[in-house]
Every structure is written in C-alpha cells, then in structure tokens.
C-alpha cells in the first residue's frame, strides 16, 4: 500500500481566516483541491482532503480539522493557509513542529513557483494543528493575502504553485508520476 496523506484547508466555511486582496478560506480550498487532484491523478498518491463546513468557533474548527486528520491512516498531515500582515509583507513560508527539512523544501518550492520571497521554514510548536496531529505535519503559508504583489503572483502562477506543492509531497512520500495516457497526450 502506498503512503497516504491528509491535506486540509485552514479555517472553515463559518470560521474565516485572513481576508485582504485574497480570501484565505476560498483560496486555501482551491489549493487543497488542486494539489489533491494532482497527487491522486498525476502521481500514484493516495490520501484524503478535508474542508471544515460545520464549525462555528475557532476552537471547534481546530478540533474538527485535527480530529479528521487523526481519524485517517496516513504518513503526513498538510494544512494550507495564507498569511496576512502589512501591504508590503511578501513571501511563502512553511511552519512545522518537527519537520524542518520538509518544511524548508516546501517553502522554497512555493516561493520559486510564485516568484516571491522564500521566508523559509519556521518552527511553531505552539500551533494547535502542528501540536495535536498524531503524524508529522506541516502548515503551508502560501503567500500574503494583504500583498498586491503576492496576490498577483498567486493568480498568475496558481498551477505552477500546486504542481510544486504536489511534487514536494510526492517526493517525501515516495510517489511516482503516472505515465500519461494516449488520450491525454493527444489533447
């Protein structure tokens, strides 16, 4: 059996994250859906994706997301978020509890795909998701929703970003690319 993953969007339908030029919840869901699709269609990956559509408080939201992750058989947990700060803040980063090497690779891959600053891997053991998932976990901060530069880079390079995220996960979990079918090659 192939190593499985769980990927989820941060926050939820009723527990909004950062809102600026981009909406964190909306965009995190798009990234999760596309990365999941790439890993399960273009690679021999297997796993689960999750979006919280029920929680109404931050505490409930965090518990719901972590409980979903911990209910699945998997090797790696991934949570997708977007950052917020001043209008001049820019860059991608990846937060971790114990996964420094993977987080550094992910941060660099996201930044390179978007053509923005690599803010690097950051240890954040106090974060509920990273502290309470029972498997190794990373929390992606794709870019800043408050930055015109980041928002433009994200919109322009969405597919490159998702392919880069998927490749880092695939490499980490030992997935291989599926051979393109003849019908796909002729499209």
pTM assigned to the model: 0.94
Pairing of strands 137-144, 92-96: antiparallel
Task: Give the DSSP H or E segment for 165.
Answer: helix 158-173
**Phi, psi angle pair for 110, to nearest 5°:** -65, -45
- Reported as a single tens digit per residue, the pLDDT across 130-158 is 999 999 999 999 999 999 999 999 999 99
Mean model confidence pLDDT for the chain: 95
Q: What domains lie within the chain, and their CATH numbers?
A: 4-175 (3.40.630.40)
Q: Are 158 and 97 in contact (CB under 8 A)?
A: no
Question: Does residue 41 have a pLDDT over 50?
Answer: yes
Please name the residue that has the structure tokens 């599926």: 178
Pairing of strands 137-144, 76-83: parallel
**Phi, psi angle pair for 92, to nearest 5°:** -110, 150
In this prediction, residues 81-102 reach a mean pLDDT of 97
pLDDT at position 2 is 87
Query: What span, in angstroms and rounded, lies between the C-alpha atoms of 143 and 80?
Result: 11
Q: Counting Cβ atoms within 10 Å, is residue 34 exposed (0-12), middle (13-18) or buried (19+)?
A: middle
Using pLDDT thresholds of 50, 70 and 90, give the confidence band for residue 180. Answer: confident
In this prediction, residues 19-24 reach a mean pLDDT of 97
């Amino acid at each position: 059996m192939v190593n499985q993953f769980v990927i989820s969007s941060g926050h939820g339908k009723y527990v909004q994250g950062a809102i600026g030029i981009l909406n964190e919840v909306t965009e995190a869901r798009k990234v999760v859906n596309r990365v999941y699709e790439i890993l399960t269609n273009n690679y021999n990956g297997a796993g689960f994706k999750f979006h919280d559509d029920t929680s109404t408080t931050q505490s409930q939201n965090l518990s719901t997301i972590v409980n979903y992750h911990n209910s699945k058989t998997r090797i790696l947990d991934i949570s997708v978020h977007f950052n917020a700060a001043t209008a001049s803040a820019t860059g991608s980063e990846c937060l971790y509890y114990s996964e420094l090497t993977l987080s550094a690779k992910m941060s660099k891959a996201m930044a390179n795909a978007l053509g923005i600053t690599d803010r690097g891997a950051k240890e954040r053991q106090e974060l509920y998701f990273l502290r309470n998932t029972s498997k190794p976990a990373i929390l992606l901060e794709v870019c800043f929703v408050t930055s015109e530069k980041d928002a433009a880079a994200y919109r322009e390079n969405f597919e490159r970003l998702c392919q880069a995220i998927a490749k880092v996960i695939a490499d980490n979990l030992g997935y291989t690319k599926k051979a393109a079918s003849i019908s796909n090659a002729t499209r």
